[in-house]
Structure formats: structure tokens, C-alpha cells
Amino acid sequence: MSQGLRFAVAFSIGLGGAIPATAFAGDVYMAANGSDANDGGSAQRPVATLAAAVQVAAARSARTGEDMTVQIAPGIYRGQTLALDDKRMRGRLTLAGTSSKADSYPAFYGNGTGTFLRYDGSAGRDTGLTVRNLRIVDYATAITLNGNRNDAHAFNRGTTISGNIFARIGTDTTKGLGKSTAAVRLVNSHDNVIENNWFKTIRNYPVTACAGLHAMYVAHGSSGNRIVGNTIEDFCGSAVKLRDSSDNNVIDSNTFRTTDRTTGIEEWFCDLGKSEECTKKSGECPSTGNLARGNRFDGIDQLRRVNIRGTRKPRPWCDAAIYDRPRISASETTD
């Protein structure tokens, strides 16, 4: 951390009633021409990185419990990543572009590797996190929300991902990089809202490495999520993949558009009874109670629009009652 930022954080934590009014304004300002030596307290004193902005926001929130918004000005931001967890903020945290026009969203560019935003939380409570109006380009993964896949009670919940652009997400395996599996990944993450985002060119390279990359990967007990009004264009894995006890998700009014022979919405689990490659020792189970409605499929044939894979034979490690429930109820799909 820069000396100026250390001073700003220490000042806000340590001086009690002497803290200037700007310290608790609820907003932290960020700009491409900013400096992490600034305090981020106004648009005239912006910080330059998400890491610095969140540090300032966390210090203020720890003192007051206040909800914080990082106001991100239009511009190009290169090589930034952010790691969050369930211990840093007392109030809610919003990361927001200040422009509502997509052509002037703040644009975060990676180098084809890594994850733009990773959240780790397994305490079974709300993340308090909102991400909106950002352009995220050239990362292996855009956003991942991670609970504990081996403990159903160790989840996170309540993130909103809204109005963003995710473009050129994936890896080039010819450069020795591992295969990316998701643009937005949920692992034991509940009750999130993923709405009105645009996913464009979600691909690993070459094409032989591409099929396992999904625009939205809803996995390992990720239940009660709402995936609404998104556009997913130019993808080669399933656009939405449900896996392993990810129940009661609503996939509503999305547009899926691709020329690849791939699936719009897929439900699957790794069957421990059939494969030695399953890595979850307790075994995975089907996802049930999911609803797909009002979705539009362009360039995807009827049989690939909603695809349920894996055995329907009950497995002893799964609750027998789930086999009486539909895995995906699909209705009102359009061409």
C-alpha cells in the first residue's frame, strides 16, 4: 500500500470524532488517472485500483457499519484483480461504473489469465456485494463466488451481478494455460441475482478445449439463484450449466445466441457410481426444481436448448425424495 493510502486508512480508524466528513460519505471514488496515494473521498481525489478502493471502503465500514459504494469512472483499467471474503466488510459493498451507457462503462482488461473478482465466503450469510455497469475483458474467469462444496451449510448468498459486459472470457491452452470453466461461477452460493448482463465470446482456444467453458456455472449446492434477462452470445460450452444439487434456480427471459453445436441450459452431475474421475468424495446428486421460461434460442436446435444429462437411477448417497421432482421444468421458450 502507498504511504498516502496507509495514512488515509490509519486516519479514518484512529481519530474518532476528529475524522473529516468525507471519510464516512459512503462513497469511494476511483479513476484511471487516479492515485492510490489519494484518499478516494471525492471525484477530485480518486484512487486508481480496486484493491485500494476496497481497502478504504473496508476501513470505513469497519468503523461505522455503513454501506459503501466504489464509484468507478469511465476509462481503461489494466491488469487488476480483486479478492474479497466474508470478513472484510460490516456493511454492503457495491462496485459500480458511474455511467449507465454501455459504451462508456469502465473497462477492466486482463491478459487472458486469472480471475477478475473472487469472493470466498462459507459462513452462511449474505455477501453484501453488488457488481454493476462494468466491462470485464480478457480474463480466464470474470467472477467466482465460492462457498464450500463439501459442506451444504458452508455457503454464501445474496450477490447481485447486474448490467455488466463480460467479453473474451476464457484461456488459450496453446500457451500452456489450463482450461477455464466459467465466466461467472457459483459454488455453494445461494439467492444471487445475475441479470441484464451481456456475455460475448466465452471461449477457450483451440476449439477442442472449448466445450467445458460455461457462461454461467451454477454448481455444488448453488440454489435459489435468479438468472434473468441476460444475453449470451458466441459460446461453445453450455451457456448455463447446473451441477450437483443446485436446486430451485430460475432461468428467465435470457437470449442464447451461437453458431456452435452446443447447449443453452444443461443439468449434469458427476456420477460416482459410473466414473472414477469424480472428485467429490461424498458423491454428487442431480439438481431439481429448476425453472427455465421465456428464454430465446438463436442458432440452437430444439434438442439442445434444455438438456438433462446423467442417470435418472437413484443413487444411495442422494436423498431419495429428489427423484420425484423434475430436474428442469422448461416452458415458453422462443425462437
CATH number, domain containing residue 20: 2.160.20
Mean pLDDT of the residues in the chain: 91
CA dihedral 198→201→203→205, nearest 10 degrees, is: -160
Read off the pLDDT of each residue in 281-295 and give the average, rounded to a whole number.
Answer: 96
Residue 278 is part of which domain span? 3-331
Query: pTM value?
Result: 0.91
Read off the pLDDT of each residue in 10-36 and give the average, rounded to a whole number.
Answer: 61
Beta bridge partners of 131: 95, 161
Q: Nine-digit cell at 124?
A: 452462511
Do the Cβ atoms of 203 and 214 come closer than 8 Å? no
CA dihedral 88→14→1→55, nearest 10 degrees, is: 30
Residue 14, pLDDT above cutoff 50 = no
pLDDT tens digits for range 203-247: 999 998 998 999 999 999 999 999 999 999 999 999 999 999 999
Domain count, the chain: 1
DSSP state of 24: G
DSSP 263-324: -SEEEE---TTT-S----TT------SEEEES-EEES--HHHHEEE-S--S--TTS-GGGGG
| List of residues 6+ apart from 98 with CB closer than 8 A | 71, 72, 73, 74, 106, 133
Q: What is the amino acid identity at position 104?
A: S
Do the Cβ atoms of 26 and 67 come closer than 8 Å? yes
pLDDT tens digits for range 179-193: 999 999 999 999 999
Residue 6, pLDDT above cutoff 50 = no
Return phi, psi of residue 214, to 5°.
-115, 145
CA distances from 297 to 241, 252, 253, 262, 270 (A): 15, 12, 10, 11, 27
From 195, 136, 193, 146, select the one nearest 170 (Cα to Cα): 136
Read off the pLDDT of each residue in 310-320 and give the average, rounded to a whole number.
Answer: 90
Which of 181-195, 244-258, 311-325 bottoms out in mean pLDDT, i.e. has the lowest? 311-325
CA dihedral 172→177→182→183, nearest 10 degrees, is: -60
pLDDT at site 323: 92
Residue with more model confidence, 113 or 11: 113
pLDDT at site 65: 87
Percent of the chain with pLDDT over 70: 91
Confidence band of 332 (pLDDT split at 50, 70, 90): low
Residue 174, pLDDT above cutoff 70 = yes
Neighbours of 41 (CB within 10 A): 22
